[in-house]
Structure 1
């Protein structure tokens, strides 16, 4: 290419997936530098009539796809992430880790790093793999190979190392929990089944809502934020259109989130982790006012009478009245009754965007179940009465059939994918239990693999670590998903685990020096997806499903390699390179991905590479497919649910059979303020010391821990608050009433604290958060003051509960827990911890890599 000429490549910019892509975009490159990232125009290679664009006609209006991708600001700003001052430039070794001598695990997160070569790094990793596995057995290596990271196919992350570990005899895998669906996975599945994750059937629901719904109940949902990392801005378009055609939007959440601020006709503020009380009071109103669908209850449900006895107080002597609920959840009783009556009188659909904070809290199985119970009481599956997911699966039924087993109508590139894909080796540890597994000296047990997608019945199987048949304790960690500390619950406990002497070696591969990377012994520099050639699909955007070739935009920065190439370097040292690569080049893998994608019968590989993408046309007659649960509503015997009775189970027969003594998840869903596992309630004496409930959402200006160093975002007031010391703090939303009582003003530096530690933040005084509640997004990059105790950046996952969802539910708890709030004197902290406050910062991007490299 001649100098000065602009070259354009297609990329799928997604940040939390397993080789499935999203947000297809075009990247303009000039003289080896990224100029801009912009939407992909679908009609560049295809005529609209070839794509057969779908249309939804309702109430005199039309909703249809645009002829370009609806990429979010995250995608347009991603070049700032590529050129971040936090990029890892070359392989690094912790200065006081000596594989032949003292390993000093207690200094992980404190010691700095020195530069080494790729050859030395690969040799050290290979040597340690052989030593650890020969000493303790194959399962002694933990592969953290899941979760948050760039979406790639050939190049990972999410488990390129597992293929090599299989060749070495095995490994232990960190089993990803259903973090965005916890309440539905552990709760709703026992009411209506709905594998894989417990959320409702989505077939034709956009059309059903447009035709029939009168109210949309956005419960704990923020469609203007949560969708940005997966499906772009289609959910935003949809919300505007629903308003345009006259559908009322009600938001039930503690905060006026970004969706509520734009779209809400009514905001009902509810205290975090009290939704179950509000739901029970709605059920009480319907039962006592005789406004529920008795015919549906009689023919489509099981155990309603037992549920009604609990709601009316016949079981425990405590009627779940609106007055009772108002004291708990902060919603006035008149508002509860008004909501219940309007819901009963008008066709209402509940809306979500993956999980809001209310399904990621203590005992979230209960509001997850109660939501389904309420839908059932109004005739689930009637026109306009379903559960709508604003992203991903809303349009899956519209497109031409793809002859592929999972699922039939979606293209995928599993044939090229090198990551871990939910296959369970001999030994595994649920992600939420990794710290406990390391820190405890005795075996641990739990129920269910915890992996999103496993069937309901799996939750009744008990598993053990170390496994009885050939298992062993882990002594090495190999991670390509280094954000456990800042994205899962009890991050300070994970820091303690990473510093345990049991863990003799930690190797992490990642593009940026952040979060768990700081606790590694060896760090491998990984390039971003804009520096690699790959193949991807877009099946999340709600526009058109399509598959595309991803050209390499720029040369890899510094000494970085892809996750796949990094593992190849280790494979060479082990003499397993040919076996690991199967003798295939990157181009070979791209072709393999295409040939098994499900579209090879539609277009030749040569034509695909010439055009760079293939658009899957809309199927004929898609409008005739029954919406959501309407097949079950119309013929429950012909279309039974995935429950033991085939019906909606108000009384869960599986829980009765397998967990008869579990007081935290009983056969009937209940209000559980606190119990054996958690005391995160204003009704518990702990609240005297920690009087605020925190709501911690999916972040507005990040995707979990990704993008926290994008300078353009950090200029936005609700992204960061600039402290008097010049540091950009994670905002803490505080209601003016609480701020006045605490003596806190806008821009003050505050700390959120409990017995698990504290994190700092910048005060943002606003009426967009209800009194008695504070709000701080999760996922900020950690910037430790004292590792395992305190953090400057506002990474509040560090102080989340360490216990799982409940006794028999190994899910995460990352919102709705108790904290104290206090103003801090930053100068006093600086004087107390001078080293922690002496790190190097970019004035806009925050902590930079040089802070951790000797001679950097």
Structure 2
């Protein structure tokens, strides 16, 4: 029996995949990966498993009645059809919607991590196709960090470039004395990267810092958020109160004259306005340690001691993306900038601030910035863009007004949703509300590999290949590698790659030449590779000829000769190296934000007591604060059907962490199945008891495939455990309009009835 061994690139790592007679036989981590992710083991039983979509399928009601049947989404069986029938339907609806509502009526979804390959990246393929068709309504920012992405340009600079400038771990290992992790440094998050994660180095570097005597302080409701450092100091803060703590630390530094006056004077603007707010001159409430103690659950002495520690050592303060995924999440990022500015260590070796060490495998990696080949995107002729987390608002309120980052905006009237890659039924909050919104457009088209909830709620479902069934190039910024992703197995069933699908549609719609430029996928790979050469040269990387690269299978780039220090140039000379802010300096007070006249964002780091009071009121009915984290056993919802994810379930349900005291008062024990519920819905979960979580707080991972008990009943119980049934679909603020999933209150009770069967991974019912 013939066996083949080739490299496969995933967002969570590169693996040596063994195939026999066209089937995946084994998946092994590569030798150079210091802490490989287990997620790769899910490939073996998933790629050809029962959840795979094998033929084009159309919802029965849509096939019979077209858009008039939209209420049947998620309820009706499917009919498998030929590719010709399916593509004719898609082309017909695209032309119809364009004729009646214009290109603005088409929403190009595809938010998500579709493929580690640079050519067969579904989001890029879909957007290039829709641009060729005349344009589409797009989305901006991310569910991961939208609040931070919107506030930082006003006060420090755009988040994405800043994220690529983080101080290298090697510098921290030499100079850092204290590492403060707001939201922890979870190893589970650093398994993944946008593009590839070839060398998982976080655990190695944390252990390196620890061996040098670096003091670690974990500020989180969950001790396990810094599991790599067993003796880290744990400040068990109440969820959503980080801004109050940060403001109190700033107040303490000023009150005890521990702040760096010279740095504040030379590198910031707006200090006096911010100081006035801290001292209570604005609202009559000084932001003292005693004030914050009543909010955060920490003692005033803990806060004062922390401020003294920070100012007395070379301190790196890192705030995770999870902190800003909450109501007023923008303010926690702003307050972190303010605190580190007062400490005056920004731009120093081993000190300063960071936004997302451990949020992916990227931040701090001492690798070349070169990101590899890119597919030309084209130009969108439609200017309408919505905040990505306002998807349901858009579908429910065509023509409705909303405010966003200083702009007065209107939602378009979307008639067709086209999604390729990603999964709104994972990313989006308040799934029951999303289902209502999802039934408003005339047509929903989805490219998918597996029968996810999003596919089951579509009208037309087109089966696409996985990265093991096509050729591609794997690479990512600051990853340090480029991998030839050779096809391992034939396409499963009748699956086709996104490019082939869009080429056929473009031919039916009259712009094939413009879209394809006459190239096959292999010709595109070589062209993209050649186009990347100048960018590689700019990073002192000499790429071999494409044929040589493809034969070698792997390139590893030299590490930067000079280690990177975040904002070192700005620190050395703020006039010569200004920030990308209106003033060119750190803005402790932003006149731009103040001019928006948002009560919740007055122009400086701000604690919103009104939101706190709302949460306290909700807690009287829903007393437990639910946190939803990135899972350890999958990437978002990808490969929840795989063996690694399934092995983590409790009686088939997603695990929920709970403090023993909260469990005892509800007669809940280890391994109990519970109903978790609030005003938005209810789910089942399996309980894991731990003292490593703050009482009054429970935690679940996101990504369990939505599995309603009865899809025909609105608000039906999700029997599998998707926390986004419970999270609120509300913007972080008018400034960022980001996801606020971490602001969520629930109640929990023991499930006393027979356990319903998990059907999340089953294909839908098919009819002739």
TM-score past 0.5 threshold: yes
For 2:459, the equivalent position in structure 1 comes to: 521
2:132 paired residue among 167, 170, 181: 167
- Cα gap change, 1:584 to 1:69, in 2 (>3 Å): farther
For 1:611, the equivalent position in structure 2 comes to: 552
- Cα gap change, 1:680 to 1:553, in 2 (>3 Å): farther
2:680 paired residue among 756, 765, 768: 756
Deviation at 1:589, TM superposition (A): 0.8
1:650 paired residue among 588, 607, 618: 588
Asked if 1 retains the 8 angstrom alpha-carbon contact of 2:655 and 2:686, the reply is yes
2:286 paired residue among 299, 305, 319: 319
Q: Using the alignment, how far apart are the partners of 2:45 and 2:635 within structure 1? A: 15
For 1:742, the equivalent position in structure 2 comes to: 666
Deviation at 1:809, TM superposition (A): 2.2
Asked if 1 retains the 8 angstrom alpha-carbon contact of 2:117 and 2:485, the reply is no
Deviation at 1:669, TM superposition (A): 0.8
Instruction: State the SS of the aligned residue for 1:803.
Output: coil
Asked if 1 retains the 8 angstrom alpha-carbon contact of 2:143 and 2:427, the reply is no
Asked if 1 retains the 8 angstrom alpha-carbon contact of 2:202 and 2:361, the reply is no
1:665 aligns with 2:601: yes
Q: Using the alignment, how far apart are the partners of 2:86 and 2:14 within structure 1? A: 35
Q: Using the alignment, how far apart are the partners of 1:554 and 1:398 within structure 2? A: 32
Residues 303-702 of structure 1 correspond to what in structure 2 (within 5 A)?
303-351=270-318, 355-379=320-344, 380-388=346-354, 389-390=357-358, 391=360, 393-394=362-363, 399=368, 409-414=369-374, 417=375, 425-447=382-404, 459-466=405-412, 473-500=413-440, 503-541=441-479, 545-598=480-533, 599=536, 602-619=543-560, 621-623=561-563, 627-656=565-594, 658-659=595-596, 661-675=597-611, 681-682=615-616, 685-702=617-634
Deviation at 1:292, TM superposition (A): 1.6
Instruction: State the SS of the aligned residue for 1:569.
Output: helix
Q: Using the alignment, how far apart are the partners of 2:66 and 2:23 within structure 1? A: 44
Asked if 2 retains the 8 angstrom alpha-carbon contact of 1:24 and 1:538, the reply is no
Q: Using the alignment, how far apart are the partners of 1:261 and 1:394 within structure 2? A: 17
Instruction: State the SS of the aligned residue for 2:123.
Output: coil
Q: Using the alignment, how far apart are the partners of 1:558 and 1:489 within structure 2? A: 33
- Cα gap change, 1:362 to 1:424, in 2 (>3 Å): farther
For 1:797, the equivalent position in structure 2 comes to: 724
Q: Using the alignment, how far apart are the partners of 1:71 and 1:422 within structure 2? A: 39
Instruction: State the SS of the aligned residue for 2:444.
Output: strand
Asked if 2 retains the 8 angstrom alpha-carbon contact of 1:282 and 1:337, the reply is yes
Instruction: State the SS of the aligned residue for 1:759.
Output: strand
Please give the per-residue CA displacement for 1:498-520, whole angstroms capped at 9, x wherever unaligned.
112xx111111110101211111
1:30 aligns with 2:27: no
Deviation at 1:575, TM superposition (A): 4.7
Deviation at 1:274, TM superposition (A): 0.8
Please give the per-residue CA displacement for 1:370-418, whole angstroms capped at 9, x wherever unaligned.
011111111122332122434555567754xxxxxxxxx414211xx27
Residues 762-773 of structure 1 correspond to what in structure 2 (within 5 A)?
762-773=686-697
Instruction: State the SS of the aligned residue for 2:528.
Output: helix
Q: Using the alignment, how far apart are the partners of 1:276 and 1:609 within structure 2? A: 50
1:211 aligns with 2:174: yes
Deviation at 1:178, TM superposition (A): 2.7
Please give the per-residue CA displacement for 1:700-737, whole angstroms capped at 9, x wherever unaligned.
2221111211123322xxx3212xxxxx1111211111
1:848 aligns with 2:756: no
Q: Using the alignment, how far apart are the partners of 2:373 and 2:67 within structure 1? A: 44
For 1:51, the equivalent position in structure 2 comes to: none
Q: Using the alignment, how far apart are the partners of 1:481 and 1:212 within structure 2? A: 42
- Cα gap change, 1:208 to 1:586, in 2 (>3 Å): same
Deviation at 1:651, TM superposition (A): 0.9
Task: List gaps (5 residues or longer) in structure 1.
Answer: 16-22, 42-66, 400-408, 448-458, 467-472, 723-727, 831-836
Asked if 1 retains the 8 angstrom alpha-carbon contact of 2:625 and 2:697, the reply is yes
Please give the per-residue CA displacement for 1:797-834, whole angstroms capped at 9, x wherever unaligned.
1322222111232211111322222223334xx7xxxx
Please give the per-residue CA displacement for 1:325-379, whole angstroms capped at 9, x wherever unaligned.
1221112222222222111111110235xx4421111100111100111111111
1:250 aligns with 2:231: no
Please give the per-residue CA displacement for 1:530-575, whole angstroms capped at 9, x wherever unaligned.
111112214344xxx1223211001111111112222233334335
Instruction: State the SS of the aligned residue for 2:150.
Output: helix
Q: TM-score, normalised by structure 2?
A: 0.92
Deviation at 1:757, TM superposition (A): 1.7
Q: Using the alignment, how far apart are the partners of 1:386 and 1:526 within structure 2? A: 45
- Cα gap change, 1:182 to 1:421, in 2 (>3 Å): farther
- Cα gap change, 1:185 to 1:166, in 2 (>3 Å): closer
- Cα gap change, 1:136 to 1:113, in 2 (>3 Å): same
Please give the per-residue CA displacement for 1:86-140, whole angstroms capped at 9, x wherever unaligned.
1112111112223656732112111121211112111211122222222222222
1:293 aligns with 2:260: yes
- Cα gap change, 1:219 to 1:605, in 2 (>3 Å): same
- Cα gap change, 1:786 to 1:673, in 2 (>3 Å): farther
1:705 aligns with 2:637: yes
Deviation at 1:141, TM superposition (A): 1.8
Q: Using the alignment, how far apart are the partners of 2:614 and 2:216 within structure 1? A: 30
1:134 paired residue among 88, 99, 110: 99
Asked if 1 retains the 8 angstrom alpha-carbon contact of 2:264 and 2:342, the reply is yes
Instruction: State the SS of the aligned residue for 2:629.
Output: coil
Q: Using the alignment, how far apart are the partners of 2:378 and 2:210 within structure 1? A: 39
Please give the per-residue CA displacement for 1:574-627, whole angstroms capped at 9, x wherever unaligned.
3544443221112101111210122585312222222123222235x424x6x2
Q: Using the alignment, how far apart are the partners of 2:237 and 2:765 within structure 1? A: 43
- Aligned-residue RMSD, C-alpha: 2.5
Instruction: State the SS of the aligned residue for 2:550.
Output: helix
- Cα gap change, 1:490 to 1:218, in 2 (>3 Å): same
For 2:9, the equivalent position in structure 1 comes to: 12
Deviation at 1:794, TM superposition (A): 1.6
Instruction: State the SS of the aligned residue for 1:822.
Output: strand
For 2:89, the equivalent position in structure 1 comes to: 124
Deviation at 1:159, TM superposition (A): 4.1
Q: Using the alignment, how far apart are the partners of 2:381 and 2:662 within structure 1? A: 48
Please give the per-residue CA displacement for 1:12-43, whole angstroms capped at 9, x wherever unaligned.
2117xxxxxxx3333222221222233445xx
Q: Using the alignment, how far apart are the partners of 1:564 and 1:711 within structure 2? A: 30
Asked if 2 retains the 8 angstrom alpha-carbon contact of 1:358 and 1:364, the reply is yes
Task: List gaps (5 residues or longer) in structure 2.
Answer: none
Q: Using the alignment, how far apart are the partners of 1:694 and 1:395 within structure 2? A: 30
Instruction: State the SS of the aligned residue for 1:597.
Output: helix
Asked if 2 retains the 8 angstrom alpha-carbon contact of 1:293 and 1:378, the reply is yes
Asked if 2 retains the 8 angstrom alpha-carbon contact of 1:211 and 1:384, the reply is yes
Q: Using the alignment, how far apart are the partners of 1:235 and 1:107 within structure 2? A: 47
Deviation at 1:485, TM superposition (A): 2.3
- Cα gap change, 1:304 to 1:774, in 2 (>3 Å): same
- Cα gap change, 1:590 to 1:261, in 2 (>3 Å): closer
More deviation, 802-811/71-80: 71-80
1:75 paired residue among 40, 44, 57: 40
